[in-house]
Amino acid sequence: MESTPDHPYTFTEPGDALWQQYDELATRCFGHRVGDITSLRNRATARVAIRDGRVVAGGLGLAANQFFGGKAVPSACLGAGCVAPEERGHQLADLLMIERIQALRERGAVLATLWTSSNAYVRRLGWQAPVPVFGWSVATQDLRTFTTDGYRVELGLTPDAQALQRSLAAEWNGPVLRPGWWWSWQEKKSSLIIYQFSRPGQPAEGVLSIATAPRSPRGMELIVHDLWAPNSTAAAAIYAFLGQHHSRAETVQFRRSALPPCLTLLHGLRRYQLTAEAWHPWMLRVLDTRQALLLRGWPADLSFATAVEVGQNAHDKPQRYLLRVADGAAEVEAADVEPVVRFSQGQFAVWYAGGYTSATTARLGGVHSESADALATLVRATHHLDPWLPDLF
């Protein structure tokens, strides 16, 4: 996009000099170096805004896949977005987002996901949060009630453990189908220590990644970044291993969204004393409604046909579709028919991610339906898997 009198900004993919300016701008905006701008340079798609020859805004995007309904859907994972303080208040962030999204749509993205504390700003552009996000803190001693139950702990990440993580990620709505470089990027970024858990002679059944930091006056902070287990027994073995750090770490911190939204931890504690901290959530936007519906997975035992309407921005008419689902696949056609269920753009993103757990929660979220049965069926169609995004970017 070229500059105009109304919008005196030029948007472009940065070369070496502009990339350096973007890095310096991000440091000024965030108050610290943003290491991803350097480490992801050869992986990410970047766009910057220029005014008078100087970078005044920028952002990264990763072309990746995210699991929804058990299938990997092409997505844009956005991060490191910033606008110079002196340029704020002129809709520059909106204009830059359009450029960032367009660049990744050209690479096939039909969804866009980001972590942001600027929820109102991105909500206005069509994003919405499918689920609340929490970090947890628990006394290390209280994990000692769990047992390892014969599991062996091995230091390091193996192809077997990576395959386990991928298969488990497909059981949720939201996790990134991590490419091979993802692990090494995160390991270097956060100085992670990675363990895998297995029974003797058996393949991996658990993956744990942690970071440590000194704690004054003695001991250390223990922070869990990844915890993957296929069942409560394997999860208990991981909790028991964390409990073995009690002599040096008073507490175990589970960073935001590190724990899946289930109660295996809470149901096994010695004392029900732990701290939950609400974080800004991950937010989802559907960029291509038809393709997003066609590419995601659906329950194999569910069959229905429903006319739906999906709101767009203030300048475009809502889109209407006839959605047919059968045998685990969808057919979608544009149809000028009276919709049975009406979604705003943000509500559609929540529904798509399985964020509505019942027709009741959908109605409370503002979803309008002419049929309670149709709405309940639509909710079941996406909530057969729970929303969870354990990946930070």
Question: Residue 189, CB half-sphere, CA atoms under 13 Å: how many?
Answer: 18
Cα(124)–Cα(192) distance, integer angstroms: 36
Percent residues over pLDDT 70 in the chain: 98
pLDDT confidence of 342, banded at 50, 70, 90?
very high
Residue 1 has pLDDT above 70, yes or no: no
Q: What is the pTM of this model?
A: 0.94
pLDDT confidence of 105, banded at 50, 70, 90?
very high
10-109 shares its CATH topology with 133-279: yes
pLDDT confidence of 6, banded at 50, 70, 90?
low
Sign of the dihedral defined by the CA atoms of residues 353, 357, 358, 363, in that order: negative
Q: What is the pLDDT of residues 280-315, one digit of tens each?
A: 999 999 999 999 999 999 999 999 999 999 998 777
Residue 211 has pLDDT above 90, yes or no: yes
CATH of 284-383, one of 3.30.70.2660, 3.10.20.30, 3.40.50.300, 3.30.1050.10: 3.30.1050.10
Q: Give which of 189, 257, 190 is closest to 43, Cα–Cα.
A: 189
Runs of H (alpha helix) within 31-174: 36-39, 92-105, 119-124, 159-169
Place of tokens 């769990």: 146
* Residue 66 CB partners (closer than 8 Å, separation 6+): 72, 73, 75, 77, 111, 113, 174, 175, 176, 177, 389
Residue 5 has pLDDT above 60, yes or no: no
The domain 133-279: what is its CATH number?
Answer: 3.40.630.30
Residue 393 has pLDDT above 70, yes or no: yes
| Arithmetic mean of pLDDT, 58-72 | 98
Query: Which DSSP string corresponds to 105-143?
Result: HTTT-SEEEEE-S-HHHHHHTT-B-SS-EEEEEEEGGGG
pLDDT at 311: 94
Write down the number of H helices and E strands in the chain: 11, 18
Q: What is the pLDDT of residues 266-279, one digit of tens each?
A: 888 888 789 999 99
Task: Say how many Å lie between the first and final Cα of the chain, rounded.
Answer: 26
Domain 10-109 superfamily per CATH: Gcn5-related N-acetyltransferase (GNAT) (3.40.630.30)
Cα(95)–Cα(332) distance, integer angstroms: 31
Q: Please give the mean pLDDT across all residues of the chain.
A: 95
For the chain, what are the domain ranges? 10-109, 133-279, 284-383
pLDDT at 273: 84
pLDDT at 3: 58
